[in-house]
């Protein structure tokens, strides 16, 4: 790989961090010498904007190209560490865009919980005067949901224990344990595969949305 294009978030001072201090400007290329080790030494970037966001140190977005020595990181790869990074475009503070993106993502799943009216209103309007009240209402709702979940879990555990006791009285415990282990392993594998697929699909959908929103700012 001779080069890789992607995204990188910088801080509002528009300088490299970690005591480097070099100024970032569109068209400029920074270089580092020596071994390149992801997360430790190198100039980083991510092909997908959503991946770059999870490593963001600030709200200033850049479209960049990595070159020189390029070392991938993650499985699947979510970022690259490079010995050279060129700033192609950007240098724009997208704080407001990120807030709008977050609200849109929250609204995608608003039907999965009983969101207080003020939370829904804030997510739809972005009215900053509602933010504190919406946050408090959401936290109260989360506490109530956690309490209900704990109660349901305790009830389910008691029911499961009773069923296990009845079953074990009727059949060999070792055989039951083996059957349970096999069944649980199969169910866990199927559930994990389904969750991974659903997570990947949701992550990709969010990446397309965020990329579209940012691309309207950085052309």
Average pLDDT per block of 10 residues along the chain, 219 residues long = 95 93 96 95 96 94 97 94 97 94 90 87 91 87 68 54 46 45 56 72 91 91
* Cβ-contact 60, 46 below 8 angstroms: no
At 189 the pLDDT is 61
List all residues 6 or more positions away from 94 whose beta carbon is below 8 Å from its beta carbon: 59, 60, 61, 214, 217
At 188 the pLDDT is 61
* Pairwise CA distance, residues 39 & 80, whole Å: 9
At 52 the pLDDT is 96
Calculate the CA dihedral of residues 62, 202, 129, 215 and round it to 10 degrees. 30
At 187 the pLDDT is 58
- 205 in helix, strand or coil? helix
Burial class (CB in 10 A: 0-12, 13-18, 19+), 104: middle
């Amino acid at each position: 790989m001779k080069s890789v294009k992607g995204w990188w978030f910088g801080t509002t001072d528009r300088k490299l961090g970690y005591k480097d201090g070099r100024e970032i400007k569109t068209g400029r290329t920074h270089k580092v010498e020596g071994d390149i080790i992801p997360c430790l030494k190198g100039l980083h970037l991510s092909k997908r904007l959503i991946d770059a966001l999870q490593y963001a140190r600030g709200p200033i977005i850049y479209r960049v190209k990595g070159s020189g020595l390029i070392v991938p990181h993650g499985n699947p790869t979510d970022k690259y560490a490079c010995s050279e990074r060129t700033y192609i475009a950007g240098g724009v503070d997208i704080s407001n865009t990120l807030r709008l993106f977050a609200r849109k993502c929250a609204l995608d799943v608003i039907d999965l919980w009983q969101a207080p009216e003020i939370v829904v209103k804030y997510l739809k309007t972005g009215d900053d005067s509602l933010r504190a009240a919406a946050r408090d209402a959401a936290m109260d709702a989360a506490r109530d949901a956690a309490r209900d979940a704990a109660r349901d879990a305790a009830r389910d555990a008691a029911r499961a224990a009773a069923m296990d006791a009845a079953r074990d009285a009727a059949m060999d415990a070792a055989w039951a344990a083996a059957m349970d282990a096999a069944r649980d392993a199969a169910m866990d594998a199927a559930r994990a595969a389904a969750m991974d697929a659903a997570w990947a699909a949701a992550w990709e959908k969010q990446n397309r949305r965020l990329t579209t929103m940012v691309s309207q700012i950085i052309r």
